[in-house]
Amino acid sequence: GNSVTQMEGPVTLSEEAFLTINCTYTATGYPSLFWYVQYPGEGLQLLLKATKADDKGSNKGFEATYRKETTSFHLEKGSVQVSDSAVYFCALSERGTGNQFYFGTGTSLTVIP
């Protein structure tokens, strides 16, 4: 079946530190991969996505590369800001499955000044 595994948090970083949040997946077919972000008290927002192997999704300084050989989609940012404090969810969805999404458990990030 389909599933997503994320590194456990919480993660605490100082401002301007480098961020990596690991995500690996299991899929029966050829999924699209997503990172969503959830700020306190809000719903999930799409941060970036990649739809095929070796694609790199990027947005707001965040990047993730779709690695089919390692079934991974790790999220990175070179210099985090206090405003990046949020919960990050990795997710996958496969073609022809009715747009069903499978989410990881989320990784909480706190950035301190």
Partner 1 sequence: EAGVAQSPRYKIIEKRQSVAFWCNPISGHATLYWYQQILGQGPKLLIQFQNNGVVDDSQLPKDRFSAERLKGVDSTLKIQPAKLEDSAVYLCASSFPPGAGIPYEQYFGPGTRLTVT
Query: Does residue 95 belong to the site contacting partner 1 (CB under 8 A)?
Result: yes
Query: Does residue 100 belong to the site contacting partner 1 (CB under 8 A)?
Result: yes
Query: Which one of the spans 13-21, 45-53, 63-71, 73-81 is the region binding partner 1 (CB under 8 A)?
Result: 45-53
| 102 HSE (CA, 13 A, CB side) | 20
Single residue of 1, 28, 42, 70 touching partner 1 by CB under 8 A:
42
The residue whose two tokens read 């990596």 is: 20
For residue 79, the minimal CB distance to partner 1 (Å) is: 26
Residues paired with 45 in a beta bridge = 37
Cα three-residue angle 90-78-75, rounded to 5 degrees: 10
Query: Does residue 45 belong to the site contacting partner 1 (CB under 8 A)?
Result: yes
For residue 46, the minimal CB distance to partner 1 (Å) is: 5
Contacts for 45 with CB less than 8 Å, ≥ 6 apart: 36, 37, 38, 39
Query: Does residue 1 belong to the site contacting partner 1 (CB under 8 A)?
Result: no
Query: Which one of the spans 18-26, 38-46, 65-73, 74-82 is the region binding partner 1 (CB under 8 A)?
Result: 38-46
Single residue of 51, 72, 85, 110 touching partner 1 by CB under 8 A:
51
* Cα 96 → chain centroid: 22
In contact, 34 and 88? CB cutoff 8 Å:
no
Query: Does residue 35 belong to the site contacting partner 1 (CB under 8 A)?
Result: no
